[in-house]
Structure 1
Amino acid sequence: MVDHHTVPIVMLVVVLAVVALAFAVSWRRGASALPVAAFAALTCGLLAAQAAVADGLPSCLRRAAEQAPQEVLLAVRPSDEELLARLVYAEARSTGFADDPRVARGIAWGAMNRVRLAEVSASARRRYGSGVAGVIFQPQQFNPAVSRRSPFAADFLCPQDAAAWQLAVAAAGMAVRGHDYPLLDTPWERRHGLSLVVNFYYPQSAQARGPLAPWEGSAGLSFIGEPESVDLPPAARVRFYRLERPPADLDTAARRPSPPAAGGR
């Protein structure tokens, strides 16, 4: 495991050692130390800027070739929010729109819809997994989290873009805490405080097989069209799909308090 802060600190120590040596040599020779001081100030400023950019990024995790991303991540036991943020970051990069906060929010809410539906339905738990980690690492679902060959697994393990990471963190925190729920559109969803929007597809991803999802037109899922909420991305960036019917084994007694719906829609 490599922390993003380690490199700037090590570099700073090395630079300070070199500067100290240069000062000593200059003093012995009677030369001016001003050029050395100027160089030291410039270098320290650049390193401070680099550290500031790296600040806030999570630990950068490395894996052996035979390791799945799941093995590496679960070994460090991240919080649900960090785990979801890592997924949002990697998935958003795969869409081609990692700088769009609406894309980050859509991915975060889509994943949490699975988590919340699985809390009250045994059939949903079998299909999507249980809890944030269970949903994220469910086989054959989110490639950056489960595939050794995914080109975006490295993004899941080692986020590098500080700005995109902050978008992912904000989206994950909002979704985990249930703030401004944007996908409660049908009467059933509003009545139960649960969204049935559990599938999403990235039509402009380099990994997309075409502009439409493989399950487009299936009996169990329906495309929701353009999202009603301005907080979600247009269908050209993320296509959302709603279950045609809620799980038959819904256990309303197990339901947690409903998150509030987004206002201003």
Structure 2
Amino acid sequence: MPQPENTALFEAQRPRLLRLAYRMLGSVAEAEDVVQDAWLRWSEASDIESPPAWLTRVVTRLCLDRMKSARARRETYFGTWLPEPLLEPEAIADDVTLTLMLALERLSPLERAAFLLHDVFEVSLGDVAATLGRDAAAVRQLAVRARRHVQESKSRYMVEDAEAERIAQAFFAATRDGDTAALQAMLAEDVVIHADGGGRVLAFRNPIRGIARVLRLYASLFRKFGDAATLLRTQRIDGLPGFVSLDRGDVLQTTALAIEDGCITAIYIVRNPDKLGHVIQALPVN
């Protein structure tokens, strides 16, 4: 096929391929690398009957190859590991939130691929089987096992955009100002904080659980640093209400908030600079 048509076909699939690769790997940078590798293979291929199916197969297999080394790295990761924050100007069609991404981490690579392809990206069971090199019955079992593991992690409380922004701004203001009364009104009793610094910057190595400990933590931070944090923008992060900020000491971080029944049940903070390069690029230039 002519090169311009070849390029146009690929570019039409690029957003979907990036979403798939990110959902598989939990890394924006690695997802971009995988899609670039897929482009190189696509540019050398010919006589492809179904470009979307072919590209989906290539990206999935490239991700499966990378997941072997990625899992080994995570076993030695310092502190809590969280996916690279995906900034979303609006909710994306696949509706996979950060909480579900973390549930996917408990699956085997094949289970994760089967679940994402069949349940999220709506690939037919036969095509999933061809992609994974398994028969349809085996793939069906992979998808069933994966679905059983992750079904409890799907959010039952969908937050509209205006409400998401209100919650994010109110939470930031309360933590910046040390307003424990306002915080207490927002938090669930069993709220938990997960913070990912990767050993590069200061972060809580272990999760902080329970409203009393979380309130004490934010009160302590306010006493030590005052209201030095700066809100850069509110932003959906992996489908959750959240924001990008400069923390005390001017450390860039993203904060995502899981909501259930109107209360914040989990707070996900990413401070590892290795995971925030794409976030810096997305910020407006002053």
- Larger % of helix: which? 2
Question: Which TM-score applies when normalising by structure 2?
Answer: 0.26
Structure with higher Rg: it is: 1
